[in-house]
């Protein structure tokens, strides 16, 4: 299989810079997710790795070999598109076999490989059907089978599940993860869905405006985000952010005071920080009735979700914070409460750069 190294990859379309000096190393057999909003450059990066786009500058290496100028057909990559791109006039068997026919493989080899990969993806009973006779999930499996049948060194997936309904998406992503581990194939997966990236990937590269902001395993990017954008992009609901002032050993949030978390005391003192963005995730806080050090507010709304509920609390009347609460706890609109974040999970960001303080030198 193949490890991939990207060095200073820049891609321009006229005056527009789609990728800006991207550096990334993807290990052999790794499942790497490229995560970001629409227009962030993640698909452009995928197609640059595939060879469909040529970088304006920078180098791409497969196992240490420079493939920057190598055409797509000679990179041995399997590419699965968002819209599946099946041939409607061909039966499923022919759709899957097409890459092998282009390579002029023997009839026996084609028959063997197509049936093997179809069985692996549980579509071996559909080989005589046309794409229009299949469900969305079945069509997606055919597209994946077509990418795998030529035994690529790298599997590239461009938002392959975005056209499926929610339940089918869960089913197919579980199969994809299992398949990737069984085959041990280096996989790069483009998505704007943070739940997909967290559930499937070994590591995630978060991209914004053509730049990689952070690369790490799911726990690292979720619990130790480097930037406010990363913290806000991951999680449902996303992280809460409140503008706050530092006063001695306390953080003032409007009319409330919280002690500066111990993990930030030294850096705040060293950098003489007076203002921060105070961040915490909805499941990393509890709602208290009565006096307690925390963030004072009033219950604005509550949303039962079965085993838990999301409570929205108005702080200072116009700043809204979401906190998870147990299913059996009852709240009243306008009720005065205190939010007590878990000190160890509080993340403070520099107000100007929006970078987490723990990543400051």
- Domains, the chain, in order of start with CATH, read 4-225 (3.40.50.300), 240-359 (2.40.50.140)
Residue 1 pLDDT > 70: no
The alpha carbon of residue 9 and the mean position of all alpha carbons in its chain are separated, in whole angstroms, by 20
Structure tokens at 318: 């116009």
DSSP conformational letter for 359: G
Burial label, 247 (beta-carbon count in 10 A; 0-12, 13-18, 19+): exposed
- What's the CA gap between 200 and 174, in Å, rounded? 8
- Supply the pLDDT for residue 198: 94
- Pick the range with the lowest mean pLDDT from 6-15, 138-147, 257-266: 138-147
- What's the CA gap between 36 and 233, in Å, rounded? 8
Q: What is the pLDDT of residues 46-89, one digit of tens each?
A: 999 999 999 999 999 999 999 999 999 899 999 988 777 899 99
> pTM, whole model, 2 decimals?
0.90
Q: What is the pLDDT of residues 289-338, one digit of tens each?
A: 978 899 999 999 999 888 889 999 999 988 999 999 998 888 999 999 99
Residue 240 pLDDT > 80: yes
For residue 324, list its beta bridge partners.
310
- Supply the pLDDT for residue 328: 81
Q: What is the pLDDT of residues 99-133, one digit of tens each?
A: 999 889 999 999 999 999 999 888 999 999 999 99
* Contacts with 256 (C-beta within 8 Å, 6 or more apart), sequence order: 294, 295, 296, 315
- Supply the pLDDT for residue 96: 95
Residue 168 pLDDT > 80: no
For residue 7, list its beta bridge partners.
59
The better pLDDT of the pair 136, 126 is held by 126
Q: Among positive and negative, which fits the CA dihedral 151, 152, 155, 160? A: negative
Torsion angle, alpha carbons of 128, 131, 132, 138, to 10 = 100
In this prediction, residues 215-242 reach a mean pLDDT of 95
Residue 159 pLDDT > 80: yes
- What's the CA gap between 33 and 347, in Å, rounded? 24
Phi, psi angles (nearest 5°) of residue 136:
-60, -40
Burial label, 263 (beta-carbon count in 10 A; 0-12, 13-18, 19+): middle
């Amino acid at each position: 299989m193949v490890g991939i190294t990207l060095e200073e990859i820049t891609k321009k379309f006229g005056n527009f810079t789609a990728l800006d000096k991207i550096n990334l190393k993807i290990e052999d057999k790794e499942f790497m997710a490229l995560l970001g909003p629409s227009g962030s450059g993640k698909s452009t990066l995928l197609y640059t790795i595939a060879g469909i786009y040529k970088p304006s500058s920078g180098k791409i290496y497969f196992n240490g070999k420079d493939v920057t100028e190598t055409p797509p057909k000679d990179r041995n990559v399997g590419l699965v598109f968002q819209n599946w791109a099946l041939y409607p006039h061909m039966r499923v068997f022919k759709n899957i076999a097409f890459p092998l026919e282009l390579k002029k493989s023997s009839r026996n080899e084609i028959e063997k490989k197509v049936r093997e990969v179809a069985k692996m993806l549980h579509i071996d009973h559909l080989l005589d059907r046309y794409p229009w006779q299949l469900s969305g999930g079945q069509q997606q499996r055919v597209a994946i089978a077509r990418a795998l049948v030529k035994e690529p060194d790298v599997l590239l997936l461009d938002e392959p599940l975005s056209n499926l309904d929610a339940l089918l998406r869960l089913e197919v992503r579980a199969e994809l993860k299992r398949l990737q581990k069984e085959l041990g194939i280096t996989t790069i997966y483009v998505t704007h869905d943070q739940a997909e990236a967290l559930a499937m990937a070994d590591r995630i590269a978060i991209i914004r405006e053509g730049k990689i902001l952070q690369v790490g395993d799911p726990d690292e990017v979720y619990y130790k985000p480097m930037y406010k954008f990363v913290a806000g992009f991951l999680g449902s609901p996303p992280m809460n952010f409140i503008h706050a002032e530092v006063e001695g050993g306390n953080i003032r949030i409007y009319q409330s005071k919280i002690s500066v978390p111990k993990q930030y005391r030294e850096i705040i003192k060293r950098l003489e920080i007076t203002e921060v963005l105070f961040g915490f995730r909805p499941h990393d806080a509890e709602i208290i009735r009565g006096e307690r050090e925390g963030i004072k507010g009033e219950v604005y709304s509550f949303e039962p979700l079965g085993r838990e509920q999301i409570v929205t609390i108005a702080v200072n009347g116009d700043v809204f914070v979401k906190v998870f609460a147990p299913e059996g706890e009852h709240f009243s609109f306008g009720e005065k409460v205190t939010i007590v974040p878990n000190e160890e999970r509080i993340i403070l960001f520099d107000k100007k750069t929006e970078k987490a303080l723990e990543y400051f030198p």
